[in-house]
């Protein structure tokens, strides 16, 4: 009996030790994930070693600094987020190399408020200089973020932003994106029929905004019914699972309005695996969807595709660096979407698997497209 | 009964009027007549010794007298008035003034000595404040009265006392009942050393002289000769002899108990039994075998023999049987078993039958268990075996497919025996197999045993019916874990056996009073760990030592702390609440949605859900369903309700809640006051009078019920307390976050359990502390902070927390505390 | 004749719960057909059964653990499902040749997890719920580690076929799961292990004294459950072409609900494999119905929770009422103690 006890205790200790060492290894991976897809998916490839002319001098000059920047990412579980973190890391490495910052730290959460509060707490305790936040909730973090700002930490909320005075926000115009794609669908299906609406990570600003845009347009088309709303979590597999669960009890679907966070292939796979024809589906700029679209286009399939830009991670980092250097950074900034029309699909036929079409955001790009607007 | 004279002691004039008269008491446990036409009178001041061998009927008689068991016939007059036996139950008996001190201690091990006094005698301790002092005085007085110089600290936890001391407490407690007129003591000195026994005897004699009456059951004939003034001997449910003490002696009593066994009660129709040849291939050999309850046993038995284990019950016979079965495979300590062993349990319901199964399934399990794990057991093979033994033992039922619970006790016993026989075992261990079985069946079974022996098997038979010893080829008489007599069947002399069984050892049966070390408070380890982990964190980030840093942390563990406090109450009862975190989440959502938009409706909803908690407790009590599953089901309900109200995180917290619970004051945040206050309230409540009762329920439910406390109320109270604390956790979460997230609080459930355990609590036994739970909650929260400070991803937090819990539990076990976690 | 009637009555009594559920399935199917305007379609029933078959595997795994008695529940099944999905996807990487090693890896991880679970329950004496809950956290974290590094997008064709192929319109999965249930039924009724498991669940001490190797039985049970859960995850990932963290989470509550509806006793000692299949179909039909009616995730959760509690309470009432009646007069099964 004693032997089994010791054995069990040993096994448990080994498990603990293993996970702690794995902690160590994945720490580096969370700091610098192996794949760097953002490089290859560059649309207008401005290589990272190009001269950052704007940083040298002038209004947007950057100086050497010993800043530490933290990334508090609420959720790491889908392609979009992975790409975002990669781009942040890449930009951070570049900034570090050039001496603008002395270090950075990335914390990924499980989409709950509690975890993110813990992350921000730990950043406060470590006295970082700026925190880039992709928030799990637009309101629930306000208290802890205020505490951070009280300590003089600069806050840059991006993608899923928060609503707090004093924090910089980098937002997408979710509402207009929702309206645009829904209008496209309405035009295509002639204003009547059944649609599936795929939602994104619940509670975050993107889903709230996009859904607002979708309903704004749908209100004008009473003959269009939402057959069902799927919680897709901006992930293809989750979306696929969700649709598969209910497809057999649904009426004929005329179109699927996706969240466009990387969920479109899930829709495609779901219909295909049930042996049904894929209805009109809004694409999400992923490599997989673009490949599929290019094939389907030959059979006459038409749609549009849109997504936010995962490389906004890099955008956030550069904004943080700028803010720390007292560069003129507007409180509210806007990030661009990438819309792809039917006639542009050829340009995106060869994206690297597992990535989303997204331009590389160097410091110059950020200044030109985000800070100055 | 003639008027009796008292033994030696000079006494004052006292009242010797008739106190109790039981006429023609009869109790039948079909087919046995446990108490047959017993008529018994007691006068005030009597100390009546109730004596008899195993199965004499003493316990049953006592149970009928004290209302535990309804008797089938008879009349009872107590203190001049007749008693309505049709509505006679323990509470009524206590009201009359009859109290029993049982063999199994009815104390709560997790309470202190004086708290045990309180829960039983709460009617005499009325003050809300100062009740502890009162109880302590009562306890001290009682112990001093009966056992002067006892050296027991009444504020000591009961589990730190030795068995002897616990028994002293039990006895002393009974004597504090002022209403008591008759006390029945069932083997009170079984664990007491000599000095204490003598003190008890002095006390009994003294108080008898003052008018108290006693019935004293004991096997220690010497004691009886000293204490009692009259004796009542029972045999097989009948009165064997009664008289004054001076009319008898130890030898006389032994002789009386030994005669008449075996003649007439058992049928002699059985064929003459030729002792079979000894089968050397099958054997049980003990060579100075010693274990916890047995000392230095040496004997040899072989196939072909029927070895009877006798002596007074509880002297090691059952332990020997179990050891032979359980340790058959391991060859250590001097016990060597050669051959396949099968066991027939005596306590059918507890360790014998499988209630959901049919007769056939019950019968065949041992045979099936003997094959390889995944071997196909063909239907024919099993049924053949079932039918053979079914017929052979004449099991009465509607067929082998009938549920075993439909059978009478005797037939169930037959099935158990068939089980052992069907398994083709070489050694058959019988634990009192004919208990509750009618005579014809008994005869059939004796034939079966003999046949088994004749076929070369070894039958080891523990019997409580001395008449059955006739059927054994060899006998071992056990007393106090030793073999005091070993016979071959030819020389079975009941008187000698009786004498050996009743023989008293000179040394105290119980060990000398060892006082166990006073252990440190439960929460010590957690407290040290908490300070340590906080220090490590502070080392990494000195900000934590400032007020600002402290507040940052408090905000982090506020909700978990409250959930842990709630869970403490529930674990203290021996249950686990798997929905406490989800409930906290629901309250969080309600506050930030319904309460914010529609205060009245919100308040109603909040109170409504709070009312569900004690209701849950009531349902668990009433339906006797496992709490763990009910709370698991409720957790889905809580989460579902929260999700329905609010599909995605958001909402706003009403301003007044924020002001009350989470606003800055010149000193500290109001949050700190609330947390400290709630923790203090929980601790204080658990230390209050009713809180002590609740703690008692967590340890020894039966004792509490017998003392008159309501189990339903206790369950509802515990769950209500937990509900309130989880409720506060939800409210405070709303105040802190100013928003709600239905899924955020789910992890608090397991974390709360972990907090309680890390804080020194146990899953059963009512051994928990609130302060420890708070320390545990802080430790778990600091783990995530520490991970953050070391730049380890927050993903690992849950894992580390789970591992810490498991580590603590493993360490506890390795430390060999022996308690169930 | 009387005997035949008696045994039929006994059959319905014993299996009452899931026969009722089977009837419920028919009712729900009809209801769904009329509500959705699609009419009664066998295809929709089969499609639901198809999705339910994945749940059935998880349910069978849970059934085994619950049958060990004393309120044991395996809360590590969701984690194992996700882990199985990640391991099989990650190791296969789309290649058929890697299927066998990948599945072996899934089985191996299941064996390890099950073994550790049983060790905690048997030797550390931790209540099964707590032990498996902690183990679940361990598995989830390990899976997260794997997830960081693997590309989990392509399914090897053979695996995909098993998960999605249809024979005459009936998915292979349904047949597979039916066979699995049959195998488990056989295991429970005609092997030493099965009988030992049922005995252990009814009364651990009695089983020990009756010669059952209770330790080995429990270890095997936890191992089977974990392995089944892992393989279930591998199949699910083949169907949905990928794996994501938390994909097993819904199976936690659903597996308990479907075995409760299917007639397995939560207190242990009685398992019903066929009932579990019916229970899983019933549960999925309810979910589909609720989704058609527009009930959100929260409502669905509430309905499932209420279902579990309702069946539990009804079961408890049945057990106490019926058994009291069945006891013979003057049964001495419990009272006699020697004096």
Predicted local distance difference test score (pLDDT) of residue A13: 47
Residue B711, preceding peptide bond in cis (omega within 30° of 0): no
Alpha carbon of A110: minimum distance to chain C alpha carbons (Å): 10
Predicted local distance difference test score (pLDDT) of residue A187: 92
Average pLDDT over residues B579-583: 94
Chains touching chain B through at least 3 C-beta pairs below 8 angstroms are: A, C
What pTM, to 2 d.p., does this model score? Answer: 0.83
Residue C296: C-alpha distances to residues A198, A207, A233, A256, C21 (Å): 14, 16, 15, 19, 23
Predicted local distance difference test score (pLDDT) of residue A50: 46
Query: Which of B315, B636, B783 to mutate to test binding with chain C, by most C CBs within 10 Å of its CB?
Result: B636
Strand arrangement of the beta sheet that strand B297-303 belongs to: B297-303, B279-289, B335-338
Residue B729: C-alpha distances to residues B567, B581, B734, B801, C106 (Å): 12, 9, 9, 20, 40
Alpha carbon of A357: minimum distance to chain C alpha carbons (Å): 18
Domain B556-809 has CATH 1.10.3470: yes
Closest CA to B742 of C301, A107, A228, C287: C301
Average pLDDT over residues A183-187: 92
Integer Cα distance of A160 and A136 in angstroms? 7
CATH, range C46-309: 1.10.3470
pLDDT tens-digit map of B382-435: 888 888 888 877 777 777 788 888 887 778 888 888 888 888 888 999 988 887
| Sequential DSSP letters for B732-773 | HHHHHHSSB-TTTTTTHHHHHHHHHHHTT--SSSS---HHHH
Alpha carbon of B541: minimum distance to chain A alpha carbons (Å): 6
Over 50: is that where the pLDDT of B725 sits? yes
Integer Cα distance of B249 and A23 in angstroms? 80
Strand arrangement of the beta sheet that strand B474-479 belongs to: B341-344, B427-431, B458-462, B306-310, B474-479, B482-488
Average pLDDT over residues B276-287: 82
Q: CB of A136 within 8 A of CB of A158?
A: no
Q: Please identify among residues 234-293 of chain A the ones whose CB lies closer than 8 Å to any CB of chain B.
A: none
Q: Please identify among residues 631-670 of chain B the ones whose CB lies closer than 8 Å to any CB of chain C.
A: 632-637, 639-645, 647
Q: Please identify among residues 209-238 of chain C the ones whose CB lies closer than 8 Å to any CB of chain B.
A: 209-213, 216, 220
pLDDT tens-digit map of B669-718: 889 899 999 999 999 999 998 999 999 999 999 888 888 888 999 999 99
Domain-wise residue ranges, chain B: 1-97+179-259, 106-178, 279-502, 556-809
Over 60: is that where the pLDDT of B797 sits? yes
Query: Which of B737, B745, B751, B821 to mutate to test binding with chain A, by most A CBs within 10 Å of its CB?
Result: B737
Q: CB of C334 within 8 A of CB of B665?
A: no
b/e code B287-319 from CB counts within 10 Å (16+ = b): eebebebbeebeeebbbbbbbbbbbbbbbbbbb
pLDDT tens-digit map of A148-179: 999 999 999 998 888 888 899 998 899 999 99
Integer Cα distance of B201 and B209 in angstroms? 12
Over 90: is that where the pLDDT of B591 sits? yes
Which value, to the nearest 10 degrees, does the dihedral of the CA atoms of residues A108, A111, A115, A116 take? 70
Q: Which is it for strands A305-307 and A338-340: parallel, antiparallel or unpaired?
A: antiparallel
Residue whose entry in the numeric block shows the structure tokens 């109603």: B604
Query: Which of A241, A253, A275 to mutate to test binding with chain C, by most C CBs within 10 Å of its CB?
Result: A241
Q: Which is it for strands C170-171 and C166-167: parallel, antiparallel or unpaired?
A: antiparallel
pLDDT tens-digit map of B641-658: 998 888 777 788 898 998
Work out how many CB contacts closer than 8 A connect B with C.
266
Find the closest chain C residue to B820 by CA distance.
C125
| Neighbouring residues of C117: CB distance < 8 A, sequence distance ≥ 6 | C74, C76, C128, C131, C132, C135, C222, C226
Integer Cα distance of C336 and B349 in angstroms? 11
Q: Please identify among residues 26-85 of chain C the ones whose CB lies closer than 8 Å to any CB of chain B.
A: 71, 73
Find the range with the poorest average confidence among B483-487, C9-13, C122-126: C9-13
CATH topology match: B1-97+179-259 vs B556-809: no
Domains identified in chain A and CATH numbers: 40-172+309-336+358-371 (3.40.50.2300), 174-307 (3.40.50.2300)
What the block records as the tokens of B366 is 């041992």
Provide Rg for chain B, Cα atoms.
32
The values of phi and psi at residue B359, to 5°, are: -60, -45
Predicted local distance difference test score (pLDDT) of residue B821: 39
CB atoms within 10 A of CB B371: 15
Integer Cα distance of A366 and A335 in angstroms? 9
Predicted local distance difference test score (pLDDT) of residue B768: 93
Strand intervals (E) in B187-323: 213-217, 230-235, 238-244, 279-289, 297-303, 306-310
Q: Which residues of A are less than 8 Å from B650 in CB distance?
A: 137-140, 203
Assign B309 to helix, strand or coil: strand
Integer Cα distance of B230 and B245 in angstroms? 5
| Neighbouring residues of C142: CB distance < 8 A, sequence distance ≥ 6 | A19, A22, C83
Contacts of A271-279 spanning 24+ positions with Cβ under 8 A: A271/A243, A271/A247, A273/A240, A273/A244, A273/C164, A273/C239, A273/C241, A274/A244, A274/A247, A274/A248, A274/C47, A276/A247, A279/A253, A279/A254, A279/A255
User: Within an 8 Å CB–CB cutoff, is residue C125 touching chain B?
Assistant: yes
Tell me the pLDDT band of C25, cut-offs 50, 70 and 90: confident
Over 80: is that where the pLDDT of A233 sits? no
> Which of B373, B625, B801 has its CB closest to that of C312?
B625
For chain A, percent of residues with pLDDT exceeding 90: 32
Q: CB of B231 within 8 A of CB of B7?
A: no
Q: Which residues of A are less than 8 Å from B649 in CB distance?
A: 113, 136-137, 139-140, 202-203
Architecture of domain B279-502: 3-Layer(aba) Sandwich (3.40)
Inter-chain contact A236–C47, Cβ cutoff 8 Å? no
Q: Please identify among residues 140-159 of chain C the ones whose CB lies closer than 8 Å to any CB of chain B.
A: 140-141, 144
Inter-chain contact A207–B736, Cβ cutoff 8 Å? no
Q: Which residues of B are less than 8 Å from C202 in CB distance?
A: 354-357
Predicted local distance difference test score (pLDDT) of residue B643: 85
Name the fold adopted by B1-97+179-259: Rossmann fold (3.40.50)
Q: Which is it for strands B32-43 and A101-108: parallel, antiparallel or unpaired?
A: unpaired
Domain-wise residue ranges, chain C: 46-309
Residue whose entry in the numeric block shows the structure tokens 């909320």: A157
Predicted local distance difference test score (pLDDT) of residue A216: 92
Predicted local distance difference test score (pLDDT) of residue C317: 65
Integer Cα distance of C160 and C96 in angstroms? 10
For chain B, percent of residues with pLDDT exceeding 90: 21
Tell me the pLDDT band of C339, cut-offs 50, 70 and 90: very low
Integer Cα distance of C191 and C170 in angstroms? 31
């Amino acid at each position: 009996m004693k032997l089994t006890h010791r054995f069990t205790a040993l096994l448990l200790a080994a498990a603990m030790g293993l996970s702690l060492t794995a902690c160590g290894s994945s720490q580096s991976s969370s700091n610098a994930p192996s794949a760097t897809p953002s490089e290859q998916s560059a649309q207008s490839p401005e290589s990272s070693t190009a001269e950052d002319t704007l940083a040298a001098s002038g209004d947007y000059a950057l100086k050497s600094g010993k800043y530490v920047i933290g990334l508090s990412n609420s959720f790491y579980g889908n392609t979009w987020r992975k790409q975002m973190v990669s781009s942040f890391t890449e930009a951070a490495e570049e900034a570090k190399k050039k001496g603008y910052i002395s270090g950075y730290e990335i914390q990924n959460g499980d989409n709950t408020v509690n975890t993110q509060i813990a992350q921000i707490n730990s950043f406060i305790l470590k006295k970082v200089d700026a925190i880039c936040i992709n928030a799990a909730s637009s309101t629930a973090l306000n208290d802890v973020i205020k505490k951070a700002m009280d300590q003089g930490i600069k806050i840059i909320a991006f993608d899923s932003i928060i609503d707090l005075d004093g924090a910089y926000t980098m937002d997408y115009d979710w509402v207009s994106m929702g309206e645009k794609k829904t209008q496209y669908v309405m035009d295509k299906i002639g204003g009547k029929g059944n649609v599936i609406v795929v939602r994104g990570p619940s509670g975050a600003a993107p889903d709230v905004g996009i859904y607002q845009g979708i309903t704004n347009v749908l209100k004008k088309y009473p003959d269009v019914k939402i057959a069902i709303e799927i919680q897709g979590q901006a992930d293809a597999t989750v979306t696929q699972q969700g649709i598969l669960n209910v497809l057999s009890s649904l009426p004929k679907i005329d179109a699927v309005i996706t969240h466009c966070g990387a969920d479109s292939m899930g829709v495609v796979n779901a219909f295909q695996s049930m042996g049904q024809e894929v209805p009109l589906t809004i694409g999400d700029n992923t490599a997989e969807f673009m490949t599929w679209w290019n094939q389907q286009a030959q059979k006459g399939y038409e749609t549009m595709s849109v997504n936010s830009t995962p490389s906004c991670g890099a955008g956030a980092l550069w904004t943080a660096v700028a803010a720390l250097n007292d560069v003129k950074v507007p409180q509210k900034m806007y990030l661009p979407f990438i819309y792809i029309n039917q006639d542009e699909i050829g340009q995106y036929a060869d994206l690297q698997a597992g990535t989303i079409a997204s331009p590389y955001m160097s410091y110059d790009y950020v200044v030109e497209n985000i800070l100055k607007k | 009964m003639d008027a009796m004279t008292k033994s030696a002691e000079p006494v004052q004039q006292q009242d010797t009027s008739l106190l109790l008269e039981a006429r023609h008491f009869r109790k039948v446990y079909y087919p046995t007549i446990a108490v047959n036409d017993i008529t018994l009178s007691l006068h005030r001041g009597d100390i009546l010794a109730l004596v008899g061998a195993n199965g004499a009927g003493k316990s049953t008689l006592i149970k009928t007298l004290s209302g535990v068991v309804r008797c089938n016939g008879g009349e009872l007059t107590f203190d001049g008035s007749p008693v309505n036996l049709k509505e006679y139950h323990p509470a009524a008996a206590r009201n009359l003034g009859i109290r029993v001190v049982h063999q199994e201690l009815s104390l709560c091990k997790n309470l202190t000595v004086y708290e045990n006094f309180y829960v039983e005698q709460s009617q005499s301790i009325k003050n809300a404040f100062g009740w502890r002092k009162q109880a302590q005085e009562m306890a001290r007085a009682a112990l001093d009265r009966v056992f002067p110089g006892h050296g027991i600290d009444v504020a000591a936890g009961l589990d730190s006392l030795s068995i002897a001391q616990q028994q002293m407490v039990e006895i002393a407690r009974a004597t504090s009942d002022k209403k008591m007129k008759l006390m029945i003591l069932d083997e009170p000195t079984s664990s007491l050393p000599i000095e204490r026994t003598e003190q008890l005897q002095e006390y009994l004699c003294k108080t008898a002289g003052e008018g108290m009456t006693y019935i004293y059951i004991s096997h220690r004939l010497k004691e009886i000769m000293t204490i009692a003034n009259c004796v009542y001997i029972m045999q097989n449910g009948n009165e064997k002899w009664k008289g004054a003490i001076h009319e008898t002696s130890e030898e006389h009593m032994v002789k009386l108990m030994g005669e008449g066994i075996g003649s007439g009660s058992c049928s002699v129709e059985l064929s003459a039994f030729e002792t079979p040849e000894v089968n050397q291939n099958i054997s049980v050999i003990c060579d100075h075998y010693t274990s916890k309850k047995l000392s230095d046993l040496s004997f040899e038995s072989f196939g072909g023999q029927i070895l009877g284990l006798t002596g007074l019950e509880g002297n090691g016979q059952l332990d020997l049987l179990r050891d032979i079965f359980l340790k058959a495979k391991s060859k250590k300590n001097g016990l060597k078993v050669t051959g396949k062993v099968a066991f027939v349990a005596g306590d059918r319901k507890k360790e014998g039958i499988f209630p959901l199964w049919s007769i056939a399934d019950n019968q065949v399990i041992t045979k099936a268990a003997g094959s390889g794990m995944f071997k196909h057991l063909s239907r024919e093979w099993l049924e053949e075996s079932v039918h053979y033994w079914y017929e052979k033992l004449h099991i009465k039922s509607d067929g082998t497919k009938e549920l075993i619970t439909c059978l009478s006790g005797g037939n169930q016993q037959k099935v158990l025996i068939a089980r052992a026989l069907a398994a083709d075992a070489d050694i058959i261990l019988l634990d009192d197999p004919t208990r509750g079985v009618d005579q014809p069946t008994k005869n059939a079974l004796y034939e079966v045993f003999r046949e088994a022996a004749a076929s070369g098997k070894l039958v080891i038979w523990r019997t409580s019916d001395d008449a059955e010893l006739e059927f054994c080829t060899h006998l071992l008489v056990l007393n106090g874990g030793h073999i005091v007599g070993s016979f071959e069947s030819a020389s079975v002399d009941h008187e000698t056996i009786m004498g050996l069984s009743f023989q008293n050892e000179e040394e105290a049966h119980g060990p000398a009073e060892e006082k166990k070390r006073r252990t440190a408070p439960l929460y010590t380890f957690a407290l040290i760990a908490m300070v340590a982990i906080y220090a490590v964190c502070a080392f990494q980030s000195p900000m934590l030592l400032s007020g600002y840093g402290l507040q940052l942390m408090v905000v982090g563990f506020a909700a978990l702390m409250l959930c842990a406090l709630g869970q403490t109450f529930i674990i203290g009862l021996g249950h686990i609440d798997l929905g406490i975190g989800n409930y906290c989440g629901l309250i969080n959502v309600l506050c930030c949605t319904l309460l914010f938009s529609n205060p009245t409706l919100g308040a109603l909803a909040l109170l409504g859900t709070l009312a569900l908690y004690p209701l849950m407790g009531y349902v668990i009590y009433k339906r006797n369903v496992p709490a763990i599953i009910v709370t698991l089901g409720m957790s889905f309900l809580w989460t579902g309700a929260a999700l329905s109200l609010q599909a995605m995180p958001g909402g706003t917290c009403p301003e007044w809640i924020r002001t009350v619970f989470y606003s800055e004051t010149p000193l500290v945040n109001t949050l700190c006051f609330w947390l400290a206050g709630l923790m203090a309230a929980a601790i204080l409540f658990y230390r209050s009078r009713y809180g002590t009762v609740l703690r008692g329920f967590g340890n020894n439910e039966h004792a509490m019920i017998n003392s008159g406390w309501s189990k339903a109320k206790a369950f509802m109270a515990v769950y209500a307390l937990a509900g309130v604390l989880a409720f506060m956790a939800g409210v405070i979460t709303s105040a802190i976050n100013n928003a709600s997230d239905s899924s955020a609080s789910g992890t608090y459930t397991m974390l709360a359990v972990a907090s309680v355990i890390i804080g020194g609590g146990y899953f059963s036994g009512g051994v928990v502390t609130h302060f420890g739970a708070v320390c545990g909650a802080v430790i778990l929260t600091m783990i995530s902070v520490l991970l953050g400070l070391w730049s380890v991803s927050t993903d690992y937090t849950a894992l580390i927390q789970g591992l810490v819990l498991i580590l603590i539990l493993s360490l506890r076990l390795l430390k060999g505390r022996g308690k169930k976690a | 004749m009387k005997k035949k009637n008696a045994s039929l009555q006994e059959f319905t009594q014993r299996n009452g719960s899931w026969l009722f559920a089977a009837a419920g399935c028919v009712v729900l199917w009809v209801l769904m057909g009329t509500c959705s305007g699609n009419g009664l379609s066998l295809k929709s029933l089969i499609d639901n059964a198809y999705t339910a078959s994945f749940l059935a595997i998880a349910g069978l795994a849970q059934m085994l653990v619950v049958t060990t008695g004393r309120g044991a529940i395996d809360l590590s099944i969701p984690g194992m499902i996700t882990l199985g999905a990640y391991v099989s996807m990650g190791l296969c990487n789309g290649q058929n040749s890697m299927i066998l090693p990948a599945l072996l890896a899934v089985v191996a991880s299941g064996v390890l997890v099950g073994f550790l679970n049983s060790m905690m329950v048997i030797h550390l004496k931790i209540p099964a719920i707590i032990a498996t809950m902690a183990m679940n956290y361990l598995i989830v974290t390990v899976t997260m580690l794997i997830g960081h590094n693997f590309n989990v997008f392509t399914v090897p064709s053979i695996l995909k076929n098993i998960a999605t192929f249809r024979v005459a319109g009936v998915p292979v999965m349904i047949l597979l799961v039916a066979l699995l249930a049959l195998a488990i039924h056989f295991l429970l009724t005609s092997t030493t292990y099965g009988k030992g498991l049922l005995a252990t669940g009814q009364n651990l001490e009695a089983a020990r004294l009756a010669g059952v190797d209770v330790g080995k039985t429990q270890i095997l049970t936890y191992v089977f459950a974990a392995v089944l859960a892992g393989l279930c995850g591998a199949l699910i990932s083949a169907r949905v072409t990928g794996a994501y963290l938390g994909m097993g989470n819904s199976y936690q509550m659903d597996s308990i609900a479907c075995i409760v509806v299917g007639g397995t006793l939560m207190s242990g000692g009685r398992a019903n494999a066929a009932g579990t299949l019916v229970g899983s179909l019933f549960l999925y039909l309810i979910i589909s119905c609720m989704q058609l009616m527009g009930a959100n995730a929260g409502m669905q959760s509430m309905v499932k929770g209420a279902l579990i509690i309702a069946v539990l309470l009804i079961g408890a009432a049945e057990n106490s009422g019926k058994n009291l009646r069945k006891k013979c007069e003057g049964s001495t099964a419990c009272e006699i103690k020697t004096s």
